[in-house]
Structure 1
Amino acid sequence: MRVAAAAAATAVVAVALVLAAVALVLLQERAVRGSVEEQARAIAESAADRLTEGEDAPEVVREVSTGFVLLQVVDAGGRVLAATAPLSATDAVDGGRTAADPDAAVAVTVDDDPLLVVRAEAGNRAVLVAGSLDAAQQSTETVTDLAVIGVPLLTVVAGATTYLFAGRALRPVEAIRARVAAISARDLTRRVPEPDTVDEVGRLARTMNDMLARLDAAQAAQRRFVGDAGHELRSPLATIAARLELAQRRGPTGGDIAAMIPEAQRMTRLVEDLLLLARADERGLTPRRDDVDLDELAENEAARLRTAGDVRVRVTTVPVRVTGDRSQLTRVLGNLAENAARHARTGVEVRLRTERGQAVLEVVDDGPGIAVGDRRRVFERFVRLDEGRARDAGGVGLGLAIVAEVLAAHGGSVEAGAADDGGTVMTVRLPAQPRDTAAPSDPASASRMR
């Protein structure tokens, strides 16, 4: 990158200097030529005035001629009346080219000397003044020589300077690269050096450190998950293996089967959770687009909790229909209800209402609640806020992560908050269908409380 930057800067400077040198040479030549023309025309007009006043042509030529200009006086037919050597005494120095356009300036060569010829009319005669362009050519050649030497020299200086400054500017980038190359997957706690600047390099370093922090957090969560999942799988597998060994020695019994079925179901739920999250990561969840009565799902889940008999359950719903995948939304309610029942002291409340075109489902428990700093983190994967509490219930920190993934696929959201009695309220929001497309219900049953 350093070499490329220097090469690009050198090329740009070289092109710019070449163009500038060409423009300078042309402007120099034009300026000197203009100066010669201006002086020659002034002398020609002065000589023409003297001829008009009646002075003799040879006398005017002799007095006006200098080392800088040469004169000819010609008649209307172009015949030379007087001339300064080495100009011809018989032929007009411009070959008659200024006769048609007296304002023109013609370049000629006499005895290898470049001359610029101008014309001034004096009645039936004309004065031709030839100014020397030798000084102009010498000046142009001098500028050209300086450009030929200076352009390559300045190009080299610009390239070397760019190379040095690019190296200095990229030194922090090289330090970042070297540090990143030295960071291994087992040591993501290291960070790249951050320069004390607010430029692109400083922002790059801060972005790299933010990325490393996210990778470190993800790796730590994954390590926690591997340990938790290993423990959760080891326990049912150990139970199943022990029962199989007993069955092998004394023959299978109904008790063996009854003990193994829950453990197998436990492993099945864990594997299904992992597969669902893997699909979400790979290509995203694609829920079905069915009409789902959310109030029916809420009441069914409340009934299931009542059947379990662990906590007191209260449900308040209104008829609400949403568009989505019935099985996935059932899983959302099941995960939220199980999470609430797991942490509740005495009871769980399920509330469903509509608000500004959205279905709002609240699952409330009267448990210890969730700290403010953990209310967003609780929906991350493999997060378990209370290790002991989650362990005995068989959780591995995937239930609420699945809730967040499914609701996001349905265009909804979920957030954790504090209940009025200090517990936790999980609030789900989903786009609701307009009331005229929902299932009809009489006004008396618009709100149901159980």
Structure 2
Amino acid sequence: MPRVRPRSLRLRLTLVVTLAVGLALTVASFVLVNSMSNTLFGGMTDAAALQVDKVADALEHGQPLPPEDPSAATLIRVEDEAGKVVASVPETGAKAVADRPVPDGRTRATEASADDIPPAKDFEIVPARTVSTPQGEARTVRAISRSGQITQSIDLVVNSLLVAAPVLTVFVGWLTWFAVDRALRPIEAVRRRAEAISHSTLDERLPEQDTGDEVGRLTRTLNRMLDRIASGARRQREFVSDASHELRTPLAAMRAELEVSLAHRGNADWRNVATRLLDDHRRLERLTGDLLTLARLDEAAVSRRAEPVQLDEIVAGEIGAVRHAEVRPALTPVRVTGVVPELVRLVRNLLDNADKHAAGVVAVHLRRDGRQVIFTVEDDGPGVPPDQRERVFDRFFRVDGSRDRASGGVGLGLALVRRIARSHGGDVTITASPTLGGALFEVRLPTP
């Protein structure tokens, strides 16, 4: 049978604290009463035993009985071998209890007044001591202590605890309920606000309280999480919008080409039409491939098989793709850990970008610097203005008209380069080439 637990955190905390306090008070009360009883009765027994020793020593040495101790509530009786009381300290106390039944069941034949006889429950007989007098007679010294006052004190404490412990437990439970309620109010306010936030209201934020406690830190953390979600949603909307635009453009061009050719089918040069359609198809294929690559890199759950790679071999294999410019390579054998197809795409995109914008020369360098591998590609083209050097890594961004659709670019190549570099634990930056005067792209990757 499943356990039924209260759904309210406030109720659960109150029950736990109340039960814990109630259990603690019960244990503490038991320990207190037990310690008090042992202390009081132990003190009474020690005092009675001391008086017994005094009287017994006096009898043993033939001395007069010691006077009554005013601070002791104990009756000392001296009995002969037949059990008859022959002396007492004080005498009135002994006389008063002579005919009273005592806990050992014996009776003393001595007259006593009602005022001198306390109830039998008020007596407690402590261990006796038997001695011999100088006359050779055996005498038993027995102490009977009045325990009624101690019993009444213990009963008073017990009765007080029976009332105080439940009252204190209830008070602590109420106080806990009140404190937890006050503590949970900010959380409830955050919950209500969070419940109202949806995909269409991601700009709203949770109410922050400058208290410096856990609730304040939780609220700030949740607001930062909402910032990241809103930023990601905004990038996703922009990406979808740009991607749809980029996909719609070649499709519209292909449709227009076909419509014009069909309208003038007798004069149409179908070979040129097929060539232009094939170019648009290749552009679409490259665009969709880049989009799929970006989506795969953005998906953290995708398993990426990283392995040791000779990066210099990948760079040397891709240099042949540069067709319009002279390549000046300077490669040092280096090894990195990464995904081969992604590293190939990184190198190819940088070389394609340099080939499109170079006036005539592209320099490629690969070297090792400590625990990093540095791969640079620079050209003698117009370069990138400083205020746009970060924006070139945005998706679908073009610096100027030179990077138009006629060149085949859609603004995803450099975005892929940065995404691949960062997924491998590195990064890419752009500066001005000190030797060629154009753009210099520098990729830094960690070594194994």
SS of the residue corresponding to residue 186 of structure 1 reads helix
Measure the CA separation in 2 of the matches of 1:322 and 1:138: 88
Q: Does 1:332 align with 2:346?
A: yes
Measure the CA separation in 2 of the matches of 1:176 and 1:67: 70
Q: Does 1:278 align with 2:295?
A: yes
Gaps of 5+ in 1: 97-108, 433-450
Q: Which residue of 2 aligns with 1:129?
A: 143
Measure the CA separation in 1 of the matches of 2:172 and 2:396: 57
Superposed displacement of residue 214, structure 1: 0.8
> Which has the higher mean CA deviation after the structures are superposed, 356-365 or 392-401?
392-401
Measure the CA separation in 2 of the matches of 1:267 and 1:47: 120
1:36-86 CA-partner distances (Å, limit 9, x unpaired): 223322322332233234257xxx5996799932233245x6845436256
Superposed displacement of residue 150, structure 1: 1.2
SS of the residue corresponding to residue 198 of structure 1 reads coil
Residue of 20, 32, 37 corresponding to 1:29: 37
SS of the residue corresponding to residue 112 of structure 1 reads helix
Q: Does 1:418 align with 2:431?
A: yes
Measure the CA separation in 2 of the matches of 1:334 and 1:313: 13
Structure-2 change in CA distance of 1:22 and 1:191 (3 Å): same
Superposed displacement of residue 190, structure 1: 1.6
Q: Which residue of 1 aligns with 2:77?
A: 72
The alignment's TM-score, normalised by the length of structure 1, stands at 0.77
Superposed displacement of residue 200, structure 1: 1.1
Aligned 8 A contact 2:54 2:66 in 1 = no
1:270-312 CA-partner distances (Å, limit 9, x unpaired): 22223233334153352364754x334324434323x1x2x66
Structure-2 change in CA distance of 1:426 and 1:68 (3 Å): same
Aligned Cα root-mean-square deviation (Å): 3.8
SS of the residue corresponding to residue 199 of structure 2 reads coil
Residue of 13, 18, 24 corresponding to 1:16: 24
1:213-243 CA-partner distances (Å, limit 9, x unpaired): 1111111111111111011000011112223
Structure-2 change in CA distance of 1:389 and 1:370 (3 Å): farther
Q: How many residue pairs were aligned?
A: 408
Q: Which residue of 2 aligns with 1:225?
A: 239
1:180-215 CA-partner distances (Å, limit 9, x unpaired): 112221222222122112221111111011111111
Comparing both chains, which one has the higher relative contact order based on Cα–Cα distances under 8 Å and sequence gaps of 6 or more? 1
Q: Which residue of 2 aligns with 1:447?
A: none
Aligned 8 A contact 2:336 2:445 in 1 = no
1:150-169 to 2 correspondence within 5 Å?
150-169=164-183
Superposed displacement of residue 357, structure 1: 6.0
1:419-438 to 2 correspondence within 5 Å?
419=432, 421=434, 423-431=439-447
Q: Does 1:113 align with 2:129?
A: no
Q: Which residue of 2 aligns with 1:2?
A: 10
Measure the CA separation in 2 of the matches of 1:390 and 1:9: 70
Superposed displacement of residue 333, structure 1: 0.4
Structure-2 change in CA distance of 1:291 and 1:417 (3 Å): closer
Residue of 273, 278, 286 corresponding to 1:261: 278
Gaps of 5+ in 2: 1-8, 89-93, 107-117, 133-137
SS of the residue corresponding to residue 209 of structure 1 reads helix
Residue of 258, 278, 295 corresponding to 2:312: 295
Q: Which residue of 2 aligns with 1:48?
A: 56
SS of the residue corresponding to residue 160 of structure 2 reads helix
AA at the equivalent of 2:151: Q
Superposed displacement of residue 419, structure 1: 4.0
The alignment's TM-score, normalised by the length of structure 2, stands at 0.77
Aligned 8 A contact 2:363 2:377 in 1 = yes
1:240-255 to 2 correspondence within 5 Å?
240-251=254-265, 253-255=270-272
Aligned 8 A contact 2:52 2:141 in 1 = yes
Structure-2 change in CA distance of 1:259 and 1:219 (3 Å): same
Aligned 8 A contact 2:421 2:428 in 1 = no
SS of the residue corresponding to residue 384 of structure 2 reads coil
Measure the CA separation in 1 of the matches of 2:184 and 2:361: 62
